[in-house]
């Protein structure tokens, strides 16, 4: 009797253990192979990726279908179809990733080009406004200089700001500056030293009395005299040049002494160094 009970107990235990083993085996056989699990995990990541959702939703849907087909083939134990579908799914994952990356980079390139355009426009605007500032400041400086000098007029021309000095007087027929004009030249030199960025072209003019060639030479000599005076007063030679224009470009007619007086003049064309060069 005792023996039969023991036997029965044994049988129950054996049956239980066997059942457990079978259950485990059953569970194990339901576990998808790692390569399929990997695809399911990748799909899950892609479903949560904003970049993929934005740029490759159709490709991802196709991937999802292929992963499902792969799983179905595995469940139905169709080994060849499973391997085939798994391969297609893996490539579709590449296609999805590649498409999303391409569009994402293209978008970034577009943004970068727009940014570049904005920066370019900004820099052009900055350059323009700084050029305007420079021009107006050069203009201001020359106008201030004209106010300090006696009998000086300013005029804005294509060549730059022109300062006409009628207070610089010469001995008749010579290039020698009259003593009374020295004060004007000193002031001019002081001013030019204060603004080293200003460059000056000195142009000499005469009235129409005498031969034109003589007047041309005389005007050049007079312009040179002014240049020399400025150099002597400390203005660097490289900033000043002299040209004789003779009786050309009269500002008024030469028929009256007053008219001739006005035509005998020295003009200074003043530019800022960066503009002049």
Partner 1 sequence: MQIKTYISMAVLTTLFLSFLGCAMQPAPTEELVLAESQIEQAKKEYSYQYEPLLIKKAEDKLASAKSLLENDKNGEAKYLLDEAKKDAEAATALSAAKKSKKLYEQSQNSQNMFKQQLDNQSEPTQPGELSP
Instruction: Give me the residues that bind partner 1 (CB under 8 A), please.
Output: 80, 84, 87-88, 91-92, 94-95, 97-99, 101-102, 105-106, 108-109, 112-113, 115-116, 119-120, 123, 126, 130, 133-134, 137, 141, 194-195, 197
Residue 269 CA neighbour count, 13 Å, CB half:
13
Which is nearer to partner 1, 168 or 198 (by Cβ)?
198
Least distance from C-beta 44 to partner 1, angstroms? Answer: 20
Least gap, CB of 105 to partner 1 (angstroms): 4
- Pairing of the two strands 265-272 and 240-244: unpaired
Q: Residue 129: count other Cβ atoms within 10 Å of its Cβ.
A: 10
User: 194 — alpha (psi -120 to 50), left (phi > 0) or beta?
Assistant: alpha
**Closer by beta carbon to partner 1, 140 or else 236:** 140
**Hey, CA dihedral for 31, 36, 38, 43, is it positive or negative?**
negative
Smallest gap, in angstroms, from Cβ of residue 158 to partner 1? 22
Between CA 196 and CA 141 the distance in angstroms is 12
Helix crossing, 182-194 with 79-148: angle to 10°?
160
How far are the Cα atoms of 102, 113, 143, 184 from residue 106, in angstroms, in the given order?
A: 6, 10, 55, 67
In the complex, the smallest distance separating the C-beta of residue 141 from partner 1, rounded to whole angstroms, is 8
Of 116 and 183, which has the nearer Cβ to partner 1?
116
Whole-number minimum distance, CB 99 to partner 1, in Å? 5
Query: Closest separation between CB of residue 195 and partner 1, Å?
Result: 7
In the chain, where does DSSP find H-type helix?
2-30, 34-47, 50-55, 57-75, 79-148, 182-194, 212-232, 257-263, 273-276
Which CB, 72 or 194, lies closer to partner 1?
Answer: 194
Nearer residue to partner 1 within complex by CB, 106 or 261: 106
**Closest CB to partner 1 among residues 103, 216:** 103
Least distance between partner 1 and beta carbon 177 (Å): 28
Q: Which is nearer to partner 1, 87 or 249 (CB)?
A: 87
Q: 256, 192 in Cβ contact below 8 A?
A: no
Q: Show Cβ contacts of residue 232 under 8 Å, excluding neighbours closer than 6 positions.
A: none
Q: What are phi and psi of 122, to 5 degrees?
A: -60, -45
């Amino acid at each position: 009797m005792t023996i039969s009970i023991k036997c029965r107990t044994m049988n129950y235990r054996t049956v239980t253990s066997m059942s457990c083993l079978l259950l485990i085996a059953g569970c194990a056989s339901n576990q998808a192979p790692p390569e399929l699990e990997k695809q399911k995990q990748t799909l899950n990541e892609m479903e949560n990726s904003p970049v993929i959702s934005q740029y490759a939703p159709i490709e991802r849907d196709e991937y999802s279908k292929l992963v499902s087909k792969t799983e179905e083939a595995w469940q139905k134990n169709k080994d060849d179809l499973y391997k085939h579908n798994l391969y297609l799914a893996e490539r579709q994952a590449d296609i999805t990733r590649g498409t999303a990356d391409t569009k994402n980079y293209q978008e970034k390139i577009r943004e970068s080009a727009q940014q570049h355009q904005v920066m370019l426009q900004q820099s052009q605007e900055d350059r323009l406004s700084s050029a305007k500032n420079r021009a107006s400041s050069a203009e201001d400086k020359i106008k201030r200089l004209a106010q300090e000098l006696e009998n000086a007029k300013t005029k804005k021309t294509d060549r730059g700001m022109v300062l006409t000095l009628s207070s610089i007087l010469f001995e008749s027929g010579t290039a020698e500056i009259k003593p009374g004009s020295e004060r004007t030249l000193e002031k001019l030199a002081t001013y030019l030293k204060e603004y080293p960025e200003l460059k000056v072209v000195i142009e000499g003019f005469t009235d129409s009395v005498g031969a034109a060639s003589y007047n041309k030479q005389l005007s050049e000599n007079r312009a040179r005299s002014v240049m020399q005076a400025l150099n002597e007063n400390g203005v660097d030679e490289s900033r000043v040049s002299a040209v004789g224009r003779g009786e050309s470009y009269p500002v008024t007619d030469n028929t009256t002494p007053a008219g001739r007086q006005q035509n005998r003049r020295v003009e200074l064309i003043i530019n800022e160094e960066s503009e002049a060069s």
